[in-house]
């Protein structure tokens, strides 16, 4: 792959780098900022985000998961060079994983929640 085939824009063209190398450093800065935000939120745990929840998950956990997926996107697209691959390859990797993992997570978390309810409703209780 020649250097001039690299796509040097991130944030949908908002930020364009002069060379592949400067793009890498740019992505590093972005990933570091996201990680710092995550850690800061994890340590401070703002009351507003912990008390309020959306779709029965705490706001703070939504933020953590969304930020993680954002980080995963940039690692995949810029570090693993998916941005420079054909759309066919991009989709065969991401769609497959997103579908299978979302499906697995959905069924197992629903099941886990159900078992919690069964124990909580008192069909099984702590033996003490």
Of 11 and 32, CB closest to other proteins = 32
CB of 18 to other proteins, least distance (A): 13
Gap between the Cα atoms of 112 and 106, Å rounded: 10
Residues forming the site for other proteins (CB under 8 A): 1-3, 20-21, 24-25, 27-28, 31-32, 35, 38-39, 42-43, 50, 61, 64-65, 67-68, 71-72, 75-76, 78-81, 85-86, 88-89, 92-93, 96-97, 100-101, 104-105, 108-109, 111-113, 115-116, 119-120, 126-128
Is 15 strand, coil or helix? strand
If residue 74 lies in a helix (H) or strand (E), which one and from where to where? helix 59-74
Beta-carbon-side half-sphere exposure of residue 18 (alpha carbons within 13 Å): 0
- Contact yes or no for 45/60 (Cβ under 8 A): yes
Smallest separation (angstroms) from other proteins to the CB of 46: 13
The most distant pair of C-alpha atoms in the chain lies apart, rounded to whole Å, by 69
Closer residue to other proteins (CB): 13 or 88: 88
């Amino acid at each position: 792959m020649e250097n001039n085939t690299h796509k040097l824009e991130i944030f949908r063209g908002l930020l364009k780098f002069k060379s592949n190398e400067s793009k890498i450093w740019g992505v590093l800065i972005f990933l570091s900022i996201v990680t710092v935000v995550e850690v800061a939120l994890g340590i401070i745990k703002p009351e507003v985000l912990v008390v309020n929840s959306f779709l029965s998950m705490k706001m703070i956990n939504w933020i953590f998961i969304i930020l993680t997926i954002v980080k995963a996107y940039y690692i995949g697209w810029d570090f693993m060079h998916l941005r420079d691959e054909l759309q066919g390859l991009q989709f065969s990797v991401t769609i497959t994983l997103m579908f299978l993992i979302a499906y697995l997570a959905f069924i197992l978390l629903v099941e886990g929640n159900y078992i919690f309810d069964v124990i909580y409703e008192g069909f099984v209780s702590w033996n003490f």
